[in-house]
Structure 1
Amino acid sequence: MTGSEGSGPPGDTTDERGDVRSTRGAAPTPDPEARRRRLSEAAVVRAVVWAARIVGALTVVAAVLPAPRRILGGELRSTLGLPAGLGLASLVVTALAGVGLLLLATGLRRRKQRAWWVATATTTFLVVVNLLHVLDQRRGIGPAVLVVALLAALIATRRYFVARQDPGGLGRSVRSLLQFGLSGFLIVWVLLALNPRRLVGDPSIAAQAAHAALSLIGVTGPVQFEQRSVWLDDLTSAIGLTFGVVALVVAGYHLLRSPEPRPSLAPEDEERLRALLDQRDGDSLGYFALRRDKAAVFAHGGKSAVSYRVLAGVALASGDPVGDVGAWPGAIEAFLDICTRYGWSPAVLGCSERGATAWAKAGLDALELGDEAVLETATFSLDGRPMRGVRQTVNRMQRSGHTVEVTRLRDVDEAERTRIAERAHRWRGAEDERGFSMASSRVADPSDPDAVIVTAFRDGEPTGMLQLVPWGRDGLSLDLMIRSADADNGVNELMIAELMAAAKDHGVKRVSLNFAMFRSALERGERIGAGPVARGWARVLRIASRWWQIDSLYRFNAKFRPTWYPRYVLFPAVRDLPRVLFVVLEAEGFGGRPPTLLRLLRR
Structure 2
Amino acid sequence: MTVDNRITNKRQWVWRFLFVAFIWLVVTQFAEIEKLILTAMSGHVGWLILAVVFQFAYYSLYSNVFRLAMCMLGVYLPWRIMLPSTFASMFVNVVAPLGGASGVAVFVDQAIQRKQSPARTAAGAMLALISDFTAFSLILVTGLTYLFYYKDLRVYEVIAAALLLLLTIGMTLILLLGLWQPNLLRRLLEWAHRFIALLFEWFKRPSPLKSDWVEKTFDDFVGIGLAIRSKPKNLLKIFLISFTAYTMDLISLWMIFRAFGQDVHFGILVAGFSMGILFWVITITPQGIGVVEGMMALVYTSLGIPANIATVIALTFRGLTFWLPFFLGFIFLQALPTFRGESRTEVRDWSVRLAALLTALVGIVNMISAVIPPTTWRVLLLENVLSTETYYGFYIITALTGFTLLMLADGLWRRKQTAWRLTLIFLALSTVSNLLKGLDYEEAFLAIALGIWLVFLKPNFHARSVYPPLQQGVRVLLAALGYICLYGIAGFYLLDTHFAVNYGLMEATAQIVKMFTSFQNPGLQALTPFGRYFSSSIYIVTGLVLVFVLIMLIRPLIIRAPASEKERERARRIIETAGESAMANYALLDDKLYHFTPGGSVAAYVVKGRAALVYGDPIGERKNFSAALASFLALCRKKRWSPIFFQIRPDYLKEYEKAGLEVLTIGDEMVLDLKDWETDDHNAPGEVFRRLKSAGYSTHLHRPPLDRALLDDLQVISDEWLAFMHIMEKRFSQGWFEPGYIQNTHVLTAIDPKNRVVGFASLLLSARTGEIGVDLLRHFQDVEPGIREFLLVSAILWARDQRYERINFGFTVGGRMQSLYEANGAIRYIAKHLDEVFSSRDILPHLRKIPVRALPRYMAFPPGCARRAALALVRSDAGDEFIEDYLKDMWRRAWAARHLR
Question: Scaled by the length of structure 2, what TM-score is found?
Answer: 0.33
Of Structure 1 and Structure 2, the greater strand share is in: 1
Larger Rg: 2
- Larger RCO (CA within 8 A; separation ≥ 6): 1
More helix by share: 2
